[in-house]
Amino acid sequence: MKTRITTLALASMALLSASAKDRMTHDPAATNEDVILHAWSWSFPEIGANMQKIAEAGYTMVQTSPVQACLTPEAGNTKLFDPTSKNGNWYHYYQPTDWKIGNDIVGTRDELKAMLDSAAKYNVRIIVDVLPNHTAFNVDLVSDDMVKAVGGRDKLYHSNGLQPIRDYNDRLQCTLEGSGGLPDVNTENPDFQRYYMEFVNDLLNLGVRGFRYDTAKHIGVHSDPVDTASGVKENDFWDVATGRKAVKGVKLAVPYEDLFVYGEILQDKNVPEAEYADYMGQTASSYGYILREILEKHNANGRDLSNWEHSAAPEYLTTWVESHDTYCNHHESASMSDDLIRTGWVFLTARQNGVPLFFSRPMNSTRDNYWGDNVAGARGNDEFFHPEVAAVNRFRQAMKGQKEDLQKSENGQVLLVNRGKKGAAVINISESANSVNLPTGLPNGTYKDVVYGKEFKVKGGRLTGIAAPLRTYILVKK
């Protein structure tokens, strides 16, 4: 079948609704208080059993792994990683076989409901990782129910959807061909949209209150090429997914403004960030790269850490020190020690903007054994409730309305995040102890760190003290 592609001339701005949110213009007074725990590969029962600990550690949201039916080997998905794949792999749940709730890693629909009920008791919102962009490599595994619902297998994929992307900076390939070689779903097919939105509404009706859209930049916006060979007239998936329009009588079940939604829109050339910002928050992937770079060098000199490296307003960015992709795919962050990751987390979370996401590493993982106990569905290690992590999570919420001021030592090894005249976070990213002598807005006096009781003094607008190696301190005005 020959593929004929046309590009719409109309800009996405023509489709802005009166209620559209401006996510491109920064409000200097805006402060973010939310903190996300990425309970990566935890099952619903594990998340529910740890909900009190999660809430006490200061998280306001939990992001689950994908919950839809997925590739399942005969022995089941029992391991996070198995080079033979016979006992599963973490990326199997990124290979959907149907858009219905439940798989053998996270659990059943009933277990999801029980977990959501637990979250509600602790005022923690649950967001789900969803991935409408693609299916499993083996298209024969896709359920007959979905194939029938979308009008047949030919209607499930874009006309070149089985062709792997060769140039990720080519928006035609990026949005209409297979990301990572995975078959590219025709997300503009109204029958698919209806089927997918029934899945989304089932999640919402159970109590889910947000989504992380996997490979979001691979689903086209209005300025992107249109796959007319598949009968597509416009790239309207995001209009449907965000509740701006109904599809075949089905519309988003709750007001979109009541949800927390962000897209995995990894930064690169030719990504229409402004158009995606019209629909959702985005990932600050470039900033995460820079932050890891300074952490690994134990030195922030030569980098402007106040610059979020993104065109969208920082209050609408989801931020991280590492993500499950940086940890798992090529292990670019996996060699970093838990202590080093923690210093980055405290710096990131103490800041005024961004919505930080804490990736939960596997239980008993080490820098020699990234998979640790290697059990799919198990809880992650203890780092998510480490006293320093919990302290900065709570600090973030206590600093509502307080503007940030970032400082660093002359040697680039000590970072200071001042929040108005109310608080400060001291971060030593060095493997050696460091003297601290930096400007602060805190009033004169002696301050004790909330975790270790370590004393710092403020006099004449200067904060002084000694910071231990790879240690962070939270100081709050009484």
- What is the H or E stretch that residue 435 is in? strand 434-439
Question: Mind listing the pLDDT tens digit for each residue in 67-109?
Answer: 999 999 999 999 999 999 999 999 999 999 999 999 999 999 9
CA distances from 97 to 112, 146, 309 (A): 19, 9, 36
pLDDT at res. 14 = 39
Rg from Cα positions in the chain: 23
Task: Name the residue ranges covered by the structural domains of the chain.
Answer: 18-402, 414-476
DSSP string, 55-84: HHTT-SEEEEPP-EEE---TT-S--S--TT
pLDDT score of 392 more than 60: yes
Mean pLDDT of 45-57: 98
Q: Which of 188, 236, 264, 322 is catalytic?
A: 264
Whose CA is closest to 391, among 453, 446, 346, 439?
346
Active site residue 214: yes
Give the separation between CA 351 and CA 30, rounded to whole angstroms: 11
Mean pLDDT of 170-197: 97
pLDDT at res. 20 = 74
Share above pLDDT 90 across residues of the chain, in percent, rounded to a whole number:
95
Q: What is the pTM of this model?
A: 0.94
Mean pLDDT of 246-268: 97
pLDDT at res. 468 = 98
Active site residue 410: no
pLDDT band at 478 (very low <50, low <70, confident <90, very high): confident
Q: Tally Cβ neighbours within 10 Å of residue 122.
A: 15
pLDDT band at 2 (very low <50, low <70, confident <90, very high): very low
CA angle (348 as vertex; 63, 351 as ends), nearest 5: 110
pLDDT score of 16 more than 90: no
CA distances from 126 to 62, 97, 195, 259, 321 (A): 5, 23, 22, 10, 21
Backbone angles phi, psi at 396, to 5 degrees: -55, -45
pLDDT, averaged across the chain: 95
Q: Tally Cβ neighbours within 10 Å of residue 6.
A: 12
Contacts of 233 (CB under 8 A, 6+ apart): 188, 226
pLDDT at res. 12 = 39
Give the separation between CA 43 and CA 105, rounded to whole angstroms: 6
Mean pLDDT of 126-139: 97
- CATH assignment of 414-476, among 2.60.40.1180, 2.60.40.10, 1.10.3720.10, 3.40.50.300: 2.60.40.1180
Q: Tally Cβ neighbours within 10 Å of residue 8.
A: 17
Assign domain 18-402 to its CATH architecture.
Answer: Alpha-Beta Barrel (3.20)
pLDDT score of 4 more than 90: no
Give the separation between CA 477 and CA 117, rounded to whole angstroms: 36
| 211 token code pair | 């989504």
Whose CA is closest to 284, among 210, 357, 359, 360?
357
Q: In sequence order, what are the beta bridge partners of 356?
A: 319
**Residue 135 CB burial class (10 angstroms; 0-12, 13-18, ≥19):** buried
pLDDT at res. 11 = 38
Question: Mind listing the pLDDT tens digit for each residue in 266-321?
Answer: 999 999 999 999 999 999 999 999 999 999 999 999 999 999 999 999 999 999 99
Give the separation between CA 302 and CA 290, rounded to whole angstroms: 11
| 136 token code pair | 């499993």
Q: Which of 82, 191, 214, 315 is catalytic?
A: 214
pLDDT band at 3 (very low <50, low <70, confident <90, very high): very low
Give the separation between CA 390 and CA 400, rounded to whole angstroms: 17
pLDDT band at 64 (very low <50, low <70, confident <90, very high): very high
Question: Higher pLDDT residue, 131 or 18?
Answer: 131
Mean pLDDT of 167-186: 96
Question: Higher pLDDT residue, 77 or 8?
Answer: 77
